[in-house]
Structure 1
Amino acid sequence: MGGQEKGEGRAGHAREGDLLGSQRQNPGPPDQSWRGDITEIQPCLKRRPQRRRQNESETPTKPGPRPGIRHRVQRPLVQRSALDSVSRAGRLQGAPKMAQDQSLKRVGLLGYGRLGQALAARLLAEGAQHGLELAFVWNRDPRRLQSTLPPALRLPDLRALADRSPDLVVEVAHPQIIHEFGAQILSHADLLVGSPSALADRDTEEQLLRASRKSGRSVFVARGALWGAEDISRLDASGGLQSLCITMATHPDGFRLEGPLGRGPREGPRTVLYEGPIRGLCPFAPRNSNTMAAAALAAPSLGFDGVVGILVSDLSLVDRHVIDVELKGPPGPSGQSFCVRTRRENPAEPGAVTGSATLTTFWGSLLACGSSSTTKPGIQLC
């Protein structure tokens, strides 16, 4: 039936053409026999001119935006932007396209221990949400990278760091990395120091400050397990801090000690391994004194020589690190001093150097550094 209808249509058009042609050849009175065929649509033809005359008689008004048009045009574009995925190498699939448009900051990791692995995993999983992407990972033992990271994210040679164009380099390896490469890194990127015990060395601190001023880049220091860093800094800046003492206690298996501390005897269930200025502790407990070093940086009026550190071995603390902070202000008119004491119990796996809560705290420090739109020379807690 469909073919028949099409044939009839073609025949109808041919007859109409023949009729028009015959009218042009033989002019005469028009045939009125077909006039009734359009009487039903004639009222429709008359209705359109009436609307035009009515509009023409109205007072002209300035055209304005049609209601709702703006939202109907823009909303699909916003939704599409939020749902598009990115496919740039090394970036997580499914990340919002808007993050790509904002030029993600490239973050390099130095160190792939427990903390380094946790940071790498979070950067891959949610870095794009915060404007960050993982640029590379370097580790002193490169074999650790082979089983979990794709080749594109591995950095075999730390001296080739500039080839990856990082914006921020995060050190979570060992203070020795800051001693040897910290100033060089600042020539290419901002630096987040995860081993602030390195700054107990005066030469290293001075080298970082000179390199920071020369390049205009920042040296961020992660506060780690230090509780109340901002309060300590504010009190110190106001001149109200007279003394600051940090006590760190954990099971002997949680220590990574060097020099005389590494050879010292463990007497009894609780042993004080060191008590004195933090500057004297950091070289022999470089991985167990970072919280104390952060406290020294939070209180520059006291510094590494004025802040007291106490390191305690406690056989009962199998699954946690305990950090006590005690600070005092100068005596008032009555002779009494302002005093604050805090205790932080950080769950930790047996023998672990880094507590579980510190993983979350360090991620927060990384986000704070990465979200900084401007950098300024100098050393600052983050």
Structure 2
Amino acid sequence: MPERTSPPVAVCPRCGDAVDDHRFCENCGHDLWLRRGGAARVPTGPCPGCGANGRASDHGNGSGGVDGAGEVYCGNCGLRRSDGTEHVEADLGRIAGVSDRGLSHARNEDAMAVGVLETTTAAPGAQALVAAVVCDGVSTVDFPELASRAGADAALERLLHPSGPDMAEAVAQAAAAVEAVAEGNLRNPPSCTLVAAVVQPGAGDGPGPGTVITVGWVGDSRAYWLAAPDAAEPARVLTVDHSWAAEMVAAGALDMEAALADRRAHAITRWLGAGGEPEPDIVTMRPAGPGLLLLCSDGLWNYLPGAVELAEAALPALARGGPAAVARALTAIALEAGGRDNITVVAVPVEPPNERRHG
């Protein structure tokens, strides 16, 4: 098939200049092939407490070590301000996600970053490269939401780099970004978990490796493959929690029931941030049939831990309204079940090339 040589837009969405067949806008440098969304916000405008104008400061007194992307306090009166992340939705068509504060937490300590990268060598109609990252801030540390946002953004940036995705390097850069958040000598530096995935385009309709999914994780945020009961690629959990319970079971010290009954069951054993072990586990799969890749924080899987039950809830929503409907439906289920934690859900429909050609 002929190679695609023109960008997916005729006008640069940043500066409005006409574009040619280059990946980057020649006027402003904007990446014409990349679309992304996420949860990072910065509060602006008058403070609702004192009326002061401008961006919030890092810690209320202007001191600190957290960069501007994490500003959450009024620099005049010290009021903690809403940063707009209580409920965030990102819908890029091929991928969509929802991140919600839940019903019990004072703020949303989760973050997501999602992106779609068209490729100059992809044949018309081929699936673009899609990447997603979900991070869950550790609630017992200072400013966990800053760790989540820094980690999610840094990992996505590397997964969608022009040189091609590198999961190990993406996690390493996320870990470095989280460490950088704590450079202000915080007594209890922020940390987070991470799960990331990249779906690389198939090799066309002929023989070849087909669609490739790579998943990497640190901690207990999860990735699932969801499919119908009779699917060629069965539904299953793709990750194994880095948690006390999972390690006790893996070591043969306890069965799952006994491990989950222990008060230490959900204590994570790997994380990004101070004192953590940011070494990821990485798995790769080449699905034999269509399905849904799902990334989520424990705010969802604590209520729906099994792949089969998640598939039963997600696939009808996918048929009705695509990945955005999946993310909203699963978030609603977690909220209706109690919403005790922050909830983040990212959905990516996957159709291997041999399935797409019959569509």
User: So what's the TM-score if we normalise by structure 1?
Assistant: 0.28
Which fold has the larger relative contact order, with Cα–Cα distance below 8 Å and residues 6 or more apart in sequence?
2
* Higher fraction of helix: 1
The normalised TM-score by structure 2 is 0.29
